[in-house]
Amino acid sequence: MNEPIPGNVLFESLRDKDAIILASNARITAGVAEGIFRAANDLDSAVIFEIARSECNVNGGYTGMVPSEYAEAIMGAAEEIGFDVWALHADHITLKKGTPEDIAETGKLIDAQIDAGFTSFAIDASYLFDHQGGNLREELAQNIDVTTELAKHIESQMRGKPFGLEVEVGEIGKKDAHGQVVTTPEEAVTFVKALNENDVFPQVLAIANGASHGNVYDEHGNMIEQVSIDILQTKAVARALRENHLDVRIAQHGITGTPRELIRSVFPRGDIIKGNVATFWQNLVLDLYKVYQPELYGDIHDWTLEEYRPKNPGMADNEVFGKNVKYAIRQFRERINDVDEETVDAIEALSYGEALVFLKAFGSKGTASIVRKTL
Ligand SMILES: [Zn+2]
């Protein structure tokens, strides 16, 4: 098996290398993972594969996969392609309550992820924000405490093995009366400093900077490009982290829909060192099903609308589908896993080409060799 390497090795060796690491969520795995690995191999680019708690957990989540199933699928793809410089990242280990039960449950998930071979972890306690707090530190206190407790849990369960650590401040995609809520430089610095004081040293920080997860739609329900990422604010946060000598850079979430020429020309590589691409790969597979698996596509389409139209009154079908089709993956898992070789080959070919474009836009070429030298 081509096993993943510790996430911190990727983050630390590429911290100031003018590159963004492509972190892909292959929630429909077959073909996508092979295509991305093949592109990574051809362009000598370090890559990350990830999956979030909501979609893959001890109960299956909305993909129906437990952590070991996802891990085995990705490791199998790495083995097939023969690619070595990659990490397996547990994305959005999200806690919404932060109660002792919530933390204990989360600990069990982390144990399962470690057993499965994950080498990097994103603790997301960004919901735990105290709006009544007097100052920033007080507002962030629960996020700091919960993140610390779980980071220590990972550390003890890894038994001395190094691992990647991502933490999150500012809820991604959150909106208030003034629009998108963005993380301030002070907030980021206060958060990371407090963690460092607790002997917790993350390598990457997820911030709210105007991006949203998933597909983006206009008021008529037509899918549109995402150009809302606040580049200046992102640079300001990275600068503040550097000026405070904090060895943390930014993980950009929610890249799906962002034009690649925009990524190439304005994304601050080196400030952003991890770029998450998830829904994009799901869209690619579903688009291809329209031609290769029309019956399966039709059934997925109808099921999603039947389930989610009533929950979204007034929303255009197109948007109801695009935002909720991820929940169909578990429902149709067997049929998705059973699609013929011709379909999987086409998914792989498309994923390969699209991954090349992402890796080019991210400036990733040559990063695998840089990481290899440090191993
Ligand atoms: Zn995310």
153-193, pLDDT tens digit by residue?
999 999 999 999 999 998 776 777 777 788 999 999 999 99
How much distance in Å is there from the Cα of 112 to the middle of ligand 1? 21
How much distance in Å is there from the Cα of 340 to the middle of ligand 1? 31
Q: What is the mean predicted confidence (pLDDT) over 247-267?
A: 94
Cα distances (Å, whole numbers) of residue 43 to 148, 273, 357: 37, 17, 11
How much distance in Å is there from the Cα of 92 to the middle of ligand 1? 6
C-alpha span between 221 and 131 (Å, rounded): 33
* pLDDT reported for residue 234: 94
C-alpha span between 103 and 121 (Å, rounded): 15
Q: Do residues 162 and 6 lie in contact, with contact meaning Cβ atoms separated by under 8 Å? A: yes
All CATH 3.20.20.70 domain ranges in the chain, comma separated:
7-281+344-374
How much distance in Å is there from the Cα of 272 to the middle of ligand 1? 14
Q: Do residues 252 and 272 lie in contact, with contact meaning Cβ atoms separated by under 8 Å? A: yes
How much distance in Å is there from the Cα of 173 to the middle of ligand 1? 9
How much distance in Å is there from the Cα of 57 to the middle of ligand 1? 16
How much distance in Å is there from the Cα of 254 to the middle of ligand 1? 6
Q: Do residues 183 and 229 lie in contact, with contact meaning Cβ atoms separated by under 8 Å? A: no
How much distance in Å is there from the Cα of 74 to the middle of ligand 1? 19
pLDDT tens readout for residues 123-160: 999 999 888 878 899 999 999 999 999 999 999 999 99
How much distance in Å is there from the Cα of 24 to the middle of ligand 1? 11
C-alpha span between 127 and 341 (Å, rounded): 42
One CATH from 1.20.210.10, 2.40.30.130, 1.10.579.10, 3.20.20.70 for 7-281+344-374: 3.20.20.70
How much distance in Å is there from the Cα of 174 to the middle of ligand 1? 12
How much distance in Å is there from the Cα of 276 to the middle of ligand 1? 7
* pLDDT reported for residue 228: 83
Q: Hey, what's the torsion of the CAs at 157, 194, 129, 210, to 10 degrees?
A: -100
* pLDDT reported for residue 224: 87
How much distance in Å is there from the Cα of 326 to the middle of ligand 1? 15
| pTM listed for this prediction | 0.96
* pLDDT reported for residue 132: 82
